[in-house]
Structure 1
């Protein structure tokens, strides 16, 4: 089997963070989401992976390279415009050939990986397998309706009135018959070739599409709140260790990771949390569900349930920062007037004086 990761799109729901960075490269627990997707595919035994790229192609290529660090081979597949997931399959056909493949959206995080799913599909006679999960607002996604036997009746993309609460997770498995489907369908009202229409075509033409209902958590990290939720869940799952320096005046609990070269001085860090490489935490409090990326400085400040990206500085903030996404190379410093609380979504290369 081969792997196909979709990493095009503008990430507009994450503006301003994605004005200067591909959304798939924003880290969750200090590791880019795209890296987690590559690892998930590799761990399922697939080492030949294509990545569909758009306007952020150069950023993706620079970060991922040829795949050597994961022991996989990466092929980049350009998509001139984001014309839908089924269109991405069309442009990837020269890479995929006639092999079975898994398609994984590069901004999705799923509990437990996909090894079991790949094992089931690779040994089955199914033409496709789709992953579903029950959610509160399925109208924001592709939605599947199943009959009493658990077979797919129909799929609808972002319906105003959902036929069920079963949303399509961004993980799909196909054999070569999917190319018949993507070439047969027409663009939707959005002007895109919808993967739901392609899967519906397979169902209508008597190909076997197996629905798998995922019981664990899954998050589409397309919006700031989703990024924080994904960060929470991953921080609770990862193993924690202390590789950096923690002085005797600091309190760091067992659910905290302090990465290589990081320093924690006269501070309290409560987990789950992660302090990135060469970060400095001085006279500060880092609360639960916080990810501090590499080369970040937090001094004389308090922050919790937040993500702070690389090379940023948070200094002398008397009010606690929480529920915030702070981009790269950001400076947050104290101004004379003191607010009681802060909630920030801050773009890269910003400077903020707190009033």
Structure 2
């Protein structure tokens, strides 16, 4: 069995971060989202992985390498334009051959991995197996409709009026039957070859399509709100450790991991939180659910529920929260400009001015 990991796409919902960085490499608890998926694939006993790349191919290649760091053998597959998930299966045809495979969206995050799902698929081998989860806004996802016996009866991509709240999670398992399906379908109104249409073709052809509704944690990390929520979830499991230095005037509370070379001086860090290698925290407060990447400098500032990427600095900033800050960013207070009030007030006026 092989794996196909999709790591193309522009990541428009994470702009401006993704103007200069692949969305799959934005870190959660100081580790790229993509790495969690690759580790889950390796844990499931799969070693041959095709990584579909687009405009950010060079950055993905640099981060993942040949896959040996994950116990994988990685083959890179170029998708010249983001023309849909089914199109990605088409361009990966040579790599996939006649093997079963799991398709994993590289910006998705699933707690608990996919080992149990892969083991079940290897044993039973339906033509396709999809994961579903209830969502509040199904119109933003591919949506599955189930019949009275709980079998998948229809799949609709981003329906205007959803008949179900069950969204497709970004993990799919297929036999080679999917190759006939992706060749049979036409582009949708979005100009993309939708994987939902390919799976619907299998259903219409009477093929065996199964589903599992997961109750565990899943997120599509395509926007800042979800990135911060996934970061919070991962930090809940952080193992506290102090590999850097903390002076006597600092206070470390709760589950905090301080990486090698980091220095904490005159500061208070409340976990769960992670401080990256060679970061410097001086006279500051770092609150819960904060990930500070390597080489960052936080001075005379307060930060909480935030992700800060490599080599960025906060200096003299009173409060930062619920934020995603990119690489090599400088955040400082705005200069205080002289201000004045000018009035023409009638008789018996009463004026309140905030100083």
Normalising by the residue count of structure 1, what TM-score does the alignment of the two structures yield? 0.93
Give a deviation string over 1:296-348, Cα, whole Å, max 9, x none: 0101100001110000011111x21111111000011123339xxxxxxxxxx
Structure 2 CA distance for aligned equivalents of residues 135 and 117 of structure 1? 21
Q: Tell me the residue number matched to 1:263.
A: 263
The structural deviation recorded for 1:68 is: 1.4
Check the 8 A contact 2:49/2:75 in 1, yes or no. Answer: yes
Check the 8 A contact 2:238/2:257 in 1, yes or no. Answer: no
Give a deviation string over 1:229-267, Cα, whole Å, max 9, x none: 111111113333222212222111231111111111111
Structure number with greater Rg is 2
Q: Tell me the residue number matched to 2:328.
A: 329
Q: Tell me the residue number matched to 1:149.
A: 149
Structure 2 CA distance for aligned equivalents of residues 171 and 224 of structure 1? 21
Is residue 160 from structure 1 mapped to residue 160 from structure 2 by the alignment?
yes
Structure 2 CA distance for aligned equivalents of residues 238 and 170 of structure 1? 25
The structural deviation recorded for 1:207 is: 1.2
Alignment of 1:213-228 (within 5 A): 213-228=213-228
Structure 2 CA distance for aligned equivalents of residues 195 and 152 of structure 1? 15
Q: Tell me the residue number matched to 2:340.
A: none
Structure 2 CA distance for aligned equivalents of residues 97 and 51 of structure 1? 15
Unaligned runs of 5+ in 2: 338-355
Alignment of 1:117-136 (within 5 A): 117-136=117-136
Q: Tell me the residue number matched to 1:31.
A: 31
Q: Tell me the residue number matched to 1:348.
A: none
Is residue 311 from structure 1 mapped to residue 315 from structure 2 by the alignment?
no
C-alpha change, 1:238 and 1:112, in structure 2 (3 Å) is farther
Unaligned runs of 5+ in 1: 339-355
Alignment of 1:198-237 (within 5 A): 198-237=198-237
Structure 2 CA distance for aligned equivalents of residues 195 and 255 of structure 1? 41
Q: How many residues align?
A: 337
Structure 2 CA distance for aligned equivalents of residues 242 and 216 of structure 1? 31
Paired residue secondary structure (2:200): helix
Alignment of 1:95-110 (within 5 A): 95-110=95-110
Paired residue secondary structure (2:18): helix
**4+ aligned runs moved over 4 Å, structure 1:** none
Alignment of 1:1-355 (within 5 A): 1-317=1-317, 319-337=318-336
CA RMSD for the aligned pairs? 1.1
The structural deviation recorded for 1:120 is: 0.7
The structural deviation recorded for 1:125 is: 2.9
Paired residue secondary structure (2:59): helix
Give a deviation string over 1:161-220, Cα, whole Å, max 9, x none: 111000000000001000000000111000100000001111111111110101011111
Structure 1 CA distance for aligned equivalents of residues 238 and 255 of structure 2? 9
Q: Tell me the residue number matched to 1:352.
A: none
